[in-house]
Structure 1
Amino acid sequence: MSKISIVSPGSAEKRQAPETRWRPPPIRRTRDRLPWLLVGLIGSFIATFIMSRFEGLLSARVAVSFFVPGIVYLADAIGTQTEAVAVRGLSLSHLSLRHLLGSELRTGFLIGLSLAGFSVPAIWLAFGDFPLALAVGLAIITAGTIATTVGLFLPWLLSRLGKDPAFGAGPTATILQDVLSILIYFLIVQVLLR
C-alpha cells in the first residue's frame, strides 16, 4: 500500500522546486564570483606588464609573440584538467594532496613533453628557427608541469580556508598559470635567442 501525503494549502507555497534550491539568485551568484574575476583582471595587468618588459625582444623577433596564446592555452587546459580532478576529489573527500602532488607533477611533465614533441618539429619546419622551436617546447614542458601543481594545490588550499573551490579555483588558477606561463616563456626565449 502506497503512502499518501496530505499537503496543506499554505505549505505548498513554501516548498521550492528542486532547481531553485541549488541555484541562488543572480545577485548572489555575482557576489560569489566577481571577487575571483577581479583577481583575474589584476593578474591580466601583471601579465601585460611582464610582456611589456620584453618589448625589445618582441620588436627584434616578432615570431616570439606568435606562440604566447598557444603556450598560455595549453597551460590553462592542463591546469583545468587537474582542477577538475582536485575539485571532484574534494567533493568526494578522497583527495590526499601528498599522494596526488607527485603523480600530477609527473603527469603534467609527461603531457608537456608529449605536446613539445609535436610542437618543436612543427615550429622548426614552419619557421626554420630551431632555437625558437626549442624555447616553445621547453616553455610548454615547464608551464604544463607548473599548471598541474597550481591546478591541484589551489582547490585544496581554498577548501582548507573554507572557500568554495568551484568558484575560486578556476579564475585564480587560470591567471596564475597565465602569468607564470608568460614569464617562463619569455625567460627561456631570452636565454636561448640572445
Structure 2
Amino acid sequence: MCGYTMDEEREQMIQLVESAVDSGDLSPVKGVLDGKRPPDIADILLALPPEKRSFVFGALDREVASETLTLLDEGAMRELLAALDESKIVALIGLMASDDAADIVNLLPPDQVQRILGRISREEYEHIQELLKFPEETAGGLMAREVMTVRGETRVADVLTRLRSEAEKIEQLQNIYVIDGQHVLLGFIPIIRLIVADPESRAKEIMTRDFLSVTTGTDQEDVAALFSKYDLYSLPVVDAGGRLVGRITVDDIIDVIEEEATEDITMMAGTGDEEFWERSPIRVSKARLPWLLTGLFGGIASALVMNHFKASLESVLTLAFFVPVITAMGGNVGIQSSAIVVRELAVGGMSLVRTGGKLIRELKVSLINGFVLGAVLLVIVTIWQGDYRLGVLLGVCMMTIILWATLMGAVVPLLLRKMDIDPALATGPFITTSNDILGILMYLGIATLFLDWIGGG
C-alpha cells in the first residue's frame, strides 16, 4: 500500500482549498478545513495568493482563526488584519493569550490601536498595555501575563480547587507560582507534585525554592540560552524588585530561535528577514541595496589598492593571475572562522572574557591550513610558471593572508558583541569585503617588497 508524504498531503490540501475557493462559496471551504489543526491551516494560508487567503480565513470559526492568525508570518498577518473589520479583530484578540494579543496589536496602524484597545475587556487591556511597554526582543515583550499564583500558607487542597477553575484560562500551565504579600516570587510548584502532595500540606512546604528567573529587560537570546541550557518548559519573569510579572513558555522560545536563526541567515546574505514576507519589490530592493552598495564600494577600494601597485603588476604580470585566488581564499577562511565564533556566541558557549582558548585553536588551525594550502600553491606555481621563487612568494602570501583572515573572522564578532551589535553581521558582506581589500593590500605589498628577488625589479 502506497502512503503519502507530508508534502504530498499538504499539496493535495492546498489544491482542494483552492478548488473550494474558486467556487466562491464558503461552505466547501469549511468542509475541506473542518477538523484541521491551526498549524496545518496556517501552512495552507501561507501557500495561497493574498486574495484567496482572506476568503479562506473568513471561513474559519473564531477560536481556530484566533490561533491560526498567531502562526502566520508578519506579512500575512498584516494583510489579514487590514482586511478584517474592527469587531472581528476585537473578538480574535479576546481569545488570545496576552503575549499573542500584544504582538497582534503591535501590527495595527497607530490610529487603530486605541480604538481596538478601547473595545476589549479591562483585564485584557491592562495586560496588553503592560506588555506594550517593553521592547519586543526582551523577556518583557516575550512573556505572557497569565500566571497562577498562590500564597505560601495556602493549603494544597485549595490550590487544586483553584487550578480546576483556572486551568482553561492559562495556556500550557506547568507550574504554580508562590508569592508573598508584595507579589515577590518565592518559589514554584510543578503540577505533578501538587497532584500527589498531601491535600492538607501548605504551598510553601512543597514548593521549589531554588528557581531560575529573568527580568523584563533580559534579551530574548539570553532567555533562549537559559531554556536550552536547563531544558526548561517555562520560566518566570520578574521586575527589578523580584515581583512576578509574567512567564515565558517553550513555544515562545521556539519562535525566538527560528526568528534569530532567520535574522542571522539573512544578515549573512546581506539582506533582512522582512524578505520572507515582504511582497513589494521596492521594499525588498531597499533592504538589499545597502549591502550591495557596500560590496560595490569595497570592490572599488580593492581596485584602488591594485592601482596603487600598478608598477609591481606591470613588472610581474603573473601576480595579477593570482589575485582572485588570494581574495577567494581569504574570504572563505574568514567566513569559516567567523561562523564558528558567531555560533558559539549565539548558544552561550563562548564568553567575551574566556575566548583565549578558542582564538588560539583557530590560529593553530589557520597555521596548518595556511601551510598546506601555501605548499599546494607553491607546487602548482612552480610547475605552471617554471619559477620556484614566485611559487615561494605566493605560498608565503597565501599562508599570511589565511592567518590574517582567520584572526579577522574570530575577533570581529567578539568586538561587535562587545559593542552590542549582532555578531552575525561579521559573517556577511562585511567580513568578505574587508578581507578582499586587506588581502589584496597584503598580497601586493609583500610582492612589492620582494620584487627584485622574483626578478621583477
Q: Which TM-score tier does this pair reach, normalised by the shorter chain? A: 0.7 to 0.9
Q: Is it true that 1:102 corresponds to 2:357 in the alignment? A: no
User: Does structure 2 conserve the Cα–Cα contact (< 8 Å) formed by 1:131 and 1:193?
Assistant: no
Secondary structure of residue in 2 paired with 1:184: helix
Give the secondary structure class of the aligned counterpart of 1:117: helix
| 1:58 matches 2:316 | no
Partner Cα separation in structure 2 for residue 127 and residue 187 of structure 1: 21
Q: Which residue of 2 aligns with 1:45?
A: 300
Matched, 1:135 2:190: no
Of 98-107 and 75-84, more deviation after overlay is shown by 98-107
Counterpart residue identity of residue 25, structure 1: E
Shift in Å, 1:13: 5.4
Q: Mark the CA change 1:36 to 1:13 in structure 2 (over 3 Å): closer, same or farther.
A: same
131-140 or 28-37: bigger deviation:
28-37
> Aligned match of 1:93 in 327, 348, 368?
348
The CA distance in 2 between the partners of 1:33 and 1:170, in whole Å, is 12
Measured after TM superposition, the shift of residue 183 of structure 1 is: 1.0
Which residue number in structure 1 is paired with residue 153 of structure 2? none
- Tell me what 1:79 maps to: 334
Q: Distance in 1 between matches of 2:285 and 2:423?
A: 16
**Letter aligned with residue 303 of structure 2:** T
Unaligned 5+ residue runs, structure 1? none
Q: Determine if contact 1:36/1:168 at 8 Å carries over to the other structure.
A: no
Residue range with higher mean Cα deviation, 67-76 or 152-161: 152-161
- Give the number of the structure whose residues are more often strand, by fraction: 2
- Is 1:44–1:175's contact at 8 Å kept on the other side of the alignment? yes
Whether the 8 Å CA contact 2:330–2:439 is kept in 1: the answer is yes
Label 1:7 to 1:90 Cα distance change in 2 as closer, same or farther (>3 A): farther
Q: Give the counterpart letter for 1:50 in structure 2.
A: V
1:121 aligned residue? 379
Change in 2 beyond 3 A, CA 1:152/1:168: closer
Higher helix share: 1
CA separation in 1, counterparts of 2:324 and 2:397? 12
TM-score (norm 1): 0.84
Q: 1:112 to 1:168 in 2, by over 3 A?
A: closer
Structure showing greater relative contact order (alpha-carbon pairs closer than 8 Å, 6 or more residues apart)? 1
Residues 15-39 of structure 1: CA distance to partner in whole angstroms, max 9, x if unpaired?
A: 2337977464326776666544443
After TM superposition, the structure 1 stretch with the greater mean CA deviation from structure 2, 57-66 or 12-21, is 12-21
Cα shift readout 1:80-131 (whole Å, capped 9, x = no counterpart): 1111101110111112432222221221121111101111021111101222
Matched, 1:182 2:433: no
The whole-number CA distance in structure 1 between the counterparts of 2:305 and 2:295 is 15
Distance of 2:408 and 2:296 partners within structure 1? 18
Distance 1:32 1:100, change over 3 A: farther
Q: Please give the secondary structure, in 2, of the residue aligned with 1:94.
A: coil
Between the aligned residues of both structures, percent identity stands at: 29
Contact conserved, 2:339 with 2:427, CA < 8 A, in 1? no
Query: RMSD over aligned Cα, in angstroms?
Result: 2.8
Question: In structure 2, what residue type is equivalent to 1:109?
Answer: L
Q: 1:168 to 1:145 in 2, by over 3 A?
A: closer
- Structure 1 position 159, deviation (Å): 2.3
Question: Under a length normalisation based on structure 2, what TM-score does the superposition of the two structures give?
Answer: 0.38
C-alpha separation in 1, matches of 2:303 and 2:451: 21
1:104 to 1:176, Cα distance in 2 relative to 1, 3 A? same
Cα distance change of structure 1 residues 147 and 54 upon mapping to structure 2, 3 Å threshold: same
Matched pairs, number:
191
Distance 2:284 2:343 in 1: 21
| Letter aligned with residue 154 of structure 1 | V
Structure 2, gaps ≥5 residues long: 1-36, 39-60, 76-254, 263-272, 453-457
Between the aligned partners of 1:86 and 1:31, the Cα distance in structure 2 is 29
1:165 alignment partner in structure 2: 423
Query: How far 1:161 sits from its partner (Å)?
Result: 2.2
Larger radius of gyration: 2
SS class of match (1:162): coil
Partners of 2:356 and 2:63 lie apart in 1 by: 53
